[in-house]
A and B are shown apart, each in its own frame.
Chain A
Amino acid sequence: MTMMIPYGQRVTPDRQATSRSLMRPRPVGRAARIILSGMLALWFALPLVPLLLWSVANRWSFPAPLPTEWGFDGLGTALAQGGVEAFGRSLLLSLAVAAIATPLGAMAARALAVGSVPAPRLVSGILLAPLALPAFVAVMGLTVVLLRLRVPAIVGVLLLLVAAALPYTVYTMRVTYAAHDLAFEEEARTLGASRLQVLWRVHLPLVAPGLARAAFLSFLVGWSDYVITVLVGGGTIVTLPFLVGSFAAGVGNDAIVAVLSLSAIVPPLLLLLALGRFGRRYAGGTRTPSASPLARSEKGFL
């Protein structure tokens, strides 16, 4: 598209109008964009379709494109195979990871932001290192140590998961504290608030959105882990991913796998929606619509 600006015409009447006339889509471009978006939408959504269909199929013999017999047998079997217990265990484990990793990450990030840490680059390097290293390496190195120290499996799993979650919480909180103004806390102290009151009434409310994002990310780390739980737990800690893995490795369990998988998707999705709603309410509706709660924390990697 060549741009010609006729002589004598006002070039910048106002930003809105300029951008509209200069960047108005052409019909061909518009069609291409819609097709492209459709393909991308299909790309992201398609892998979820079999889960939805299989979870309500009792029988689905081969060439049929839709289930041949609808029903909830998969759900029944999944419940009978300890699905609820595994779900609860996964939930507890992930919540514990979030509950430990979030405050730790926040404290480390605050210390880094205030500048009270010696060799800050080294410290943040070590805190971010689990991102760059495969989880199974840490597990294989440490199981011997954990065994010799007689640390219970569940504590070992928790320890490793917290370390895996720390990079996310530290980074999210580092970004949060970079935008956080300590003067608010000093002001409150000057006005006679105790340290506890400052923490509870000033500090925490100001960083709450960041804390929520950090907690969500560390919850995800615990929720989706498979290798650490299997290797350290040695098969004794049956979490939801563990069940999905063992059924998916077998043959003919398609309906159970689908039900279990769906139940593994629902909690993080609910949390994501809650997080988005929390963030919007907190910002008083001033946020740009394109910045989703995850985007703001994930781009923190930069």
Chain B
Amino acid sequence: MLIALFVVGGGIGFSLVQSLGLLPLVGEASLSLDAYLANGDDLVRGIGLSLAIATASTALSCIIGLTAALVITQGRSTGRLVAGLSAFTIPIPHLVGAASVGLLLSDAGIIPRILGIPGTEWPDIVGGSWWIAVVLEYTWKESAFVALVVAGVLASRVARYDETAALLGASRARRLRHVVIPLARPAVIVSAIIIFVYTLGSYEVAWLLGRPYPEPLPVLAFRLFTSITLTARPEAAAVAVVTTLISLAVVALGMAALRRTPLWK
């Protein structure tokens, strides 16, 4: 409890204080918004980019993960295969996933080799201007997470309702639309919040598979934080504070959406 309070409260608090220029490593402390303005353009561009990556990854993960969960809860041998493989994906570190996606999709990767496309004609998936490899890596890992969470919820509740609806004459499409999806919705929303916040604040994948410029927020903060100039520290803290505010806003939005679902107790 104390540790969590120290790390969370302290982390945000000191980031805020630093970003306002009150805790410099050298020189006089003074209250100012300079750190927020110093990289104004980069910051705005980073916010847009980070939001875009997080939105794309979250949406794709939820769609693929929900599909996988439906296949898993069918409970036949194919479902077990998908369940096993997706559970297998969960404990793999994101960094390893990123390295592997790089080996798969870069212009000298395995897929262009198999397809026989020379590197010069292969689209810039890794390090390209659309950040496709980054989104794909997040989607790969996080769709397994969605599949796991949603399948766990569906396995415990869906079978009986589904059978009842079938007995009452509901068609397949109607059962999916009116029984399975509503039952899965709270689980999907919760995992979407977690994924969005994670992809917004995660560094290593965007650093490894992205391009040098423009930078998403964590990469920008990381570069400023580790740069040689000491004045960059408050600027890094400013980026951190902005990221935190976005995360909190997203969590609040998500919780509001969650409260509107009929199943939330």
Contact = CB atoms under 8 A, between A and B. Distances in A.
Contacts, number: 301
Contact of A249 (B194, B208, B241): B208
B99 A257 contact: yes
Interface string B251-263: 1000000000000
Interface string B86-102: 11111111111111111
A49 B110 contact: yes
A278 interface: no
Which residue, A126, A227, A261, A290, has most C-beta atoms of chain B within 10 A? Answer: A290
Given A36-B67, A43-B140, A258-B103, A141 B88 contact: no
B74 interface: yes
A141 B247 contact: no
Interface stretch (A12-20, A179-187, A196-204): A12-20
B14 A37 contact: no
B7 A160 contact: yes
Contact of B204 (A104, A226, A265): A226
B4 A301 contact: no
A140 B23 CA distance: 12
Given A37-B79, A144-B25, A264-B93, A301 B149 contact: yes
Listed residue (A48, A53, A54, A141) with the most chain B CB atoms within 10 angstroms of its CB: A141
B41 to A, nearest CB: 21
A227 B222 CA distance: 9
Given A264-B93, A295-B149, A137 B3 contact: no
Main secondary structure on B side of the interface with A: helix
A50 B110 contact: yes
B11 A141 contact: yes
Interface in A1-60: 1-3, 5, 11-12, 15, 18-19, 22-23, 29, 33-34, 36-38, 40-41, 43-51, 53-54
22 contacts: A3-B170, A37-B71, A37-B82, A44-B140, A65-B116, A126-B5, A132-B197, A133-B244, A134-B197, A137-B15, A137-B240, A140-B237, A142-B14, A159-B3, A220-B91, A244-B95, A254-B103, A265-B93, A269-B91, A290-B73, A291-B155, A298-B148
Interface of A: 1-3, 5, 11-12, 15, 18-19, 22-23, 29, 33-34, 36-38, 40-41, 43-51, 53-54, 62-65, 104, 108, 123, 126-127, 129-142, 144-145, 159-160, 162-164, 166, 220, 223-224, 226-227, 231, 241, 244-245, 248-249, 254, 257-258, 261, 264-265, 268-269, 271-272, 288-292, 294-296, 298-299, 301-302
